Structure 1
Amino acid sequence: MSSPVVAPRSVAATPARGSARPLLFLAMAVCSGATVANVYLAQPLLALLAGGFGASRSAAGVVVTCAQFGYAAGILLLVPLGDVRRRRPLLGALLAVTVAMLLAAAAAPGLAVLAAATALIGGATVIPQVLVPLAAELAPPERRASVVANVQIGLLTGIVGSRVVGGAVGQLLGWRAVYLLAAALTAVAGAVTVRLLPAEGERTGPRYTSLLASLPRLLREQPALRHSSLLHGALFGAYSATWTTLVLVLTGRHYHFSSAVAGLFGLLGLAGAVAAPWAGRFIDRRGPLPIAAAALLLTLLSAGAYALGSSRLVAVILGIVLANVGVQWSQLANQARVLAHLPDVRSRANTVFMVIVFLCGAVAAAASTACYGAFGWGGVCAVQAALALAGLLVLPAAYRYDSNNHH
């Protein structure tokens, strides 16, 4: 398939992809987990931040918001550089900025400085979104989805671990220690990964402004990118709707769990990491769309389980497990599909994919809070089911396209 944009060229030969590079791929997974955790550090620390700065919890929440917006901006503005810049110096620069800003956050004298540092942390710690296309490029074609699955496992583990470990360390040593620990982990994991990356020759491509201008054209001209962005955007929106408001159910009048106990339910999200390797192997053998379809069906089943969960704890647990396996399978399948269809512009394709998915999740999360207030938990579960059904409507077009464009 021809690309709508000029692919970068290297003056040196691209490194051979025949070897499995197990140590490199393991380092990529660990680095992805260590760096993506930086986006979520403040979430379990809100009470400590509010107490430390003499602010309300809602005021301290601006730190979480800044991290999320910074991450979205970084995906949009920095990840496309992976198509036209050598990845070792690009990752080295991102790591240096991230570590510097984590140290600045640890020393922040006030909430405004911490929020500003957190925004810059989010913008620079888009390292996993550079590593995923790079892992797909370096992996042998017959193992590409399996390798990407392993990197995604690191990503998910980092998200879950940041909330659990961050909360425990913050409670024991204070919130500043969390940022210092994150700086150390980021520096070590990043340095090892960059050291193991194969050397590249000079890469040339469009100017930066042209690079960004190519993003909407890429979405317009590439059906596979549109299909997978819509498929996972709908499913991630469904996942975000219930995940955002689930804490209100767990701490509500039926269960009366504390916020700390409710947070432990997040560990059930690791079910997605456990199920990812099998899905990666299946995708390598049979293609991504069967896994994408299974993910949507699991999300529908999860909505039903969640609906029963307002009074049955076992149903809540089942809903969490199904939803997390579904969202992990969907991300893996749709991301692998995009990277396979657009090998010459993987970083830009990943940028478009992640921005659309992020926006869908943000809109659904915001809508779910209003829906919970108006219709209760049952209404939120209905939103999850409706979005999963919307994703299923996109599947036939994706299957038709893939049957005519084998990769």
Structure 2
Amino acid sequence: MKLSRIDVLLMAFCTGLIVANIYYCQPLVILVAKEFNLTESYAGRIASLTQAGYALGLFVLVPLGDMFERRKQILLITACAVAALLLAAFSHAFWMLEISCVLIGASSIVPQLILPMAANLSADENRGETIGIIMSGLLIGILASRTVSGSIGFIWGWRSVYFMAAGICSLLLVLMAKRFPISKPTFNGTYKDLVMSMGHYIKTQPVLREASIINFLAFAILSAFWTTMVLFLANPPYNLSSLQIGLFGIAGAAGAMAAPLVGKLSDSKDPRRNLLIGLLLQLASIATFYLTGNHLYLFAIGILLIDIGQQAIHVTNQTRIYTLVPEARNRLNTVFMSVSFVGASSGSALGLWLWDMGKWPLFCLGTTIVILINICIYMLLQQND
């Protein structure tokens, strides 16, 4: 079957609501720190652990989409996400919350099963546009989740956010069971063969290598920012609450509307040029963050720039890898997204370290260096599609 516009929008809707599970924790760091009597930087570990769990789930579970029927896999993993979210909501100690966050991350990889499914069912000439639409749902989910989480956490406490997320995923289970198409597996070997084949693709597909490396560093920048900005805004001279901090997610959600346009551009003959645009936008965003001072409207502009830049990089790279080996899209996506979210987890840890060492000025300097390294890699690799 081919995807209708309604199918694509439904996939975007489900993708955004499920991926939000990974990011609810970021505005809640201050509230968690107060309840468990921890420093804010130590409580920030829940963000990096959630992303590490996501990377683990990507590597272990996503390849199975080439081996098993995707719809059943999506439903089973979403059910696991419901259980993990409830465990977080009932956590009575910080170590239990840490374990819950790893499980939440690992069970929130459903969007990375939906995307290859959509790519398989899309015509070659509009695959990038389809991915862009679904990615816009994913990005809006990521960014709006912080606003929702900050607001609900401020009013009803951080546990209520996880109860809400468990309820949403339960409803999505019913919706996906009724509407998602049944897919046919494309791989007939063992799980060991499946995993080993990913090494083969890493060796033989230079575009996959380039896209993964560039995404690793781009995700590190984005994750470092969203983890550290909570500390930046919660401390003097701003002293913002979790509710106020969460509202900055609106600026990023507005930028997510550019994803379908980026997807269309990725269907062109030279999609790689979008990567440089994205990297330069990231660089401009860090400069804006550094110059914010007492002008928080500049901070909001910086959020818009960093998220549009990330979309240009990520949507373009994801579209590029889906054109390489159609029958191995889940495995290619596993390599690409596992590397990306190891980058995200590393970025969260880097952001917290830079904050501890030199607060916001050192954060801006450190992330600028990382972006410049990424631009150099882009210039040196020059892999054509």
- Give the TM-score normalised by the residue count of structure 2: 0.88
- Distance in structure 2 (CA, Å) of the matches to 1:55 and 1:33: 32
Instruction: Tell me the distance in 2 between the aligned counterparts of 1:101 and 1:249.
Output: 29
Deviation at 1:46, TM superposition (A): 4.3
Q: By how many angstroms is 1:321 displaced?
A: 1.4
Find the aligned partners of 2:275 and 2:190 in 1 and give their Cα distance. Answer: 35
Q: How does 1:304-319 map to 2 (within 5 A)?
A: 304-319=287-302
Question: How do residues 317-356 of structure 1 correspond to structure 2 at under 5 angstroms?
Answer: 317-356=300-339
Residue 7 of structure 2 aligns to which amino acid in structure 1? L
- Report matched runs for 1:117-196 at 5 Å: 117-196=100-179
Describe the shift of the 1:239–1:96 C-alpha distance in structure 2 as closer, same or farther (beyond 3 A).
closer
2:251 is matched with which residue: 268, 274, 297? Answer: 268
Which residue among 58, 63, 74 is the counterpart of 1:91?
74
User: 1:232 offset after TM fit, Å?
Assistant: 1.9
Q: Deviations over 1:115-163 (max 9, x none)?
A: 4344323212210111111111111211111111111122122222322
**Further displaced range: 87-96 or 376-385:** 376-385
Percentage of pairs with the same residue? 34
- Once residues 44 and 374 of structure 1 are traced to their aligned partners in structure 2, the CA distance between those partners, rounded to angstroms, is 21
Partner of 1:10: none
Does the CA contact (< 8 Å) of 1:238 and 1:383 recur in 2? no
Shift of 1:48: 4.9
| One-letter amino acid matched to 2:67 | V
Q: Which residue of 2 aligns with 1:230?
A: 213
The answer as to whether partners of 1:153 and 1:276 remain within 8 angstroms in 2 is yes
Shift of 1:372: 4.1
Q: Write the letter of the residue equivalent to 2:169.
A: T
Q: Give the deviation of 1:396 after TM superposition.
A: 4.6
Name the SS of the counterpart of 1:288 in structure 2.
coil
Q: Specify whether residues 216 and 272 from structure 1 end up closer, same or farther in structure 2 by C-alpha distance, changes over 3 A only.
A: farther
Cα distance in 2 between the residues matched to 1:37 and 1:121: 11
Of structures 1 and 2, the larger Rg is shown by 1
RMSD over aligned CA atoms reads 2.7
8 Å CA contact retained: 1:130, 1:347: yes
1:155-198 Cα offsets, whole Å, 9 max, x none, are: 12222232222333344444444333222211222332343222
SS where residue 341 of structure 1 aligns? coil
Query: Would the alpha carbon gap of residues 121 and 250 (structure 1) be closer, same or farther in structure 2, given more than 3 Å must change?
Result: closer
State the match for 1:290 in structure 2.
Answer: 273
Which deviations, in whole Å up to 9, do the C-alpha atoms of 1:346-396 show, x marking residues without a partner?
111111111212222333333343334445534332333333333333335
Q: Which ranges in structure 2 are unaligned for 5 or more consecutive residues?
A: none
Question: Judging changes above 3 Å, is the alpha-carbon distance between structure 1 residues 96 and 376 closer, same or farther for their aligned structure 2 residues?
Answer: closer
The answer to which of 142-151 and 379-388 deviates more is 379-388
Match of 2:14 among 28, 31, 43: 31
Q: How big is the shift at 1:66?
A: 4.0
1:75 Cα deviation after fit = 0.8
- CA drift of 1:273 comes to 0.9
Closer, same or farther in 2 for the Cα pair 1:383/1:49, shift >3 Å?
A: closer
Are the counterparts in 2 of residues 136 and 148 from structure 1 also a CA contact under 8 Å?
Answer: yes
| 1:101 equivalent in alignment to 2:59 | no
Query: In the alignment, residue 282 of structure 1 is paired with which amino acid?
Result: L
Q: 1:205/1:398 Cα in 2 relative to 1: closer, same or farther (>3 Å)? A: farther
Tell me the equivalent position of 1:12.
Answer: none
The AA in structure 2 aligned to 1:216 is G
Q: 5+ unaligned residues in a row in structure 1: which ranges?
A: 1-15, 403-407
Q: What are the within-5 Å matches in structure 2 for residues 237-248 of structure 1? A: 237-248=220-231
